[in-house]
Structure 1
Amino acid sequence: MSHVTLKGGCLCGAVKYEVNGDLQHFYHCYCSRCRKSSGTGHTSNVILSNANLLFTGGESSVKQYKVPEAKRFTRQFCSNCGSSVAQFVAEMNFVVIPAGSLEGDIPIKPQARIFWDSRVDWACDGDTLPRYSEYPG
């Protein structure tokens, strides 16, 4: 994939970030943890590998919540407004970016709907994206 620089931030504007890395994936995730953390039927995340995450504003407002029994699930957010923001996942050596936190256009289109079998009946649908029970092979 291509090397990109993406910028984003939170709803209140306190937290701002910049990510430089190799664009890998753009997934809509329907797992129960993503639904609970977002309050919606799915989350939309952009994933970059070989990436650097730099907070250009408000880093002291960034907080994390790690689900104790989860291997990798951590939610990173602004402590002022609660908006999810980009986070580095050390175990996987990539950065996960909530697509809605990005400024401007995203240079990749959604590629798949993951954890599809975990979705709720009222979750969004209506396109031809591939669907996977878990992570794509």
Structure 2
Amino acid sequence: MTSKLLGGCFCGAVRYEAAGLASAIGYCHCGTCRKTHSAPFIATALTPFEEFSWTKGRDFVTYIETSPGKHRYFCPACGTHMMAEYPAAKRRLLRVGSIESPLPRPAAVHIWTSEKAPYFDFCDDLPKLSEGLPPAD
């Protein structure tokens, strides 16, 4: 695991602190990530569930349940997505683009490639998983 990470939204209304990364950084190609971020894929990584906190805007940040038991948190002012969680499974996934601290490592895997955008072509040699989360550390 890595050291403490700080992050937040584009407008600064919401900030968070996380203990570090608990998995590889993965590029997620699932249809829901593509739709909610308006992008062909997003970078994501697990963080320890109990060691994440909103340091600013806790009562302001909001979420949408995009699939049963999965909450995606974003700033209602600027729209920045910062984190997704599965509360019942005690899993939190940071949106790597919202992290402002130096990252401990580069991305290591593509996930949910079974739902890859048809207009996107891979241009690296990273492993490609048809489903799943980034591998845990």
Q: What TM-score bracket applies, with the shorter chain setting the length?
A: 0.7 to 0.9
Residues 96, 131 of structure 1: alpha-carbon distance in 2 compared, 3 angstrom cutoff? same
Equivalent residue number for residue 56 of structure 2: 57
Residues 49, 30 of structure 1: alpha-carbon distance in 2 compared, 3 angstrom cutoff? same
Q: Per-residue deviation at 1:39?
A: 0.3
Counterpart contact for 2:69–2:87, Cα < 8 Å:
no
DSSP-derived class of the 1:36 partner: helix
Equivalent residue number for residue 48 of structure 1: 47
Unaligned runs of 5+ in 1: none
Equivalent residue number for residue 120 of structure 1: 117
Q: What TM-score results when the alignment is normalised by the length of structure 1?
A: 0.86
C-alpha deviations, 1:31-86, integer Å up to 9, x for none?
Answer: 1001011000011102123542111111122001002xx23432110011110113
Counterpart contact for 1:20–1:53, Cα < 8 Å:
yes
Q: What TM-score results when the alignment is normalised by the length of structure 2?
A: 0.86
Aligned length in residues: 134
What percentage of aligned pairs have identical amino acids?
25
Q: Structure 2 CA distance, aligned partners of 1:37 and 1:24?
A: 22
Q: Structure 1 CA distance, aligned partners of 2:89 and 2:22?
A: 14
Equivalent residue number for residue 74 of structure 1: 71
C-alpha deviations, 1:3-36, integer Å up to 9, x for none?
Answer: 4211100000110100115522211111100101
Tell me which stretches of 4 or more aligned residues in structure 1 moved more than 6 Å. Answer: none
CA RMSD of aligned residues (A): 2.0
More strand by share: 1
Residues 87, 53 of structure 1: alpha-carbon distance in 2 compared, 3 angstrom cutoff? farther
Q: Structure 1 CA distance, aligned partners of 2:59 and 2:110?
A: 33
Q: Structure 1 CA distance, aligned partners of 2:85 and 2:16?
A: 12
Counterpart contact for 1:47–1:96, Cα < 8 Å:
yes
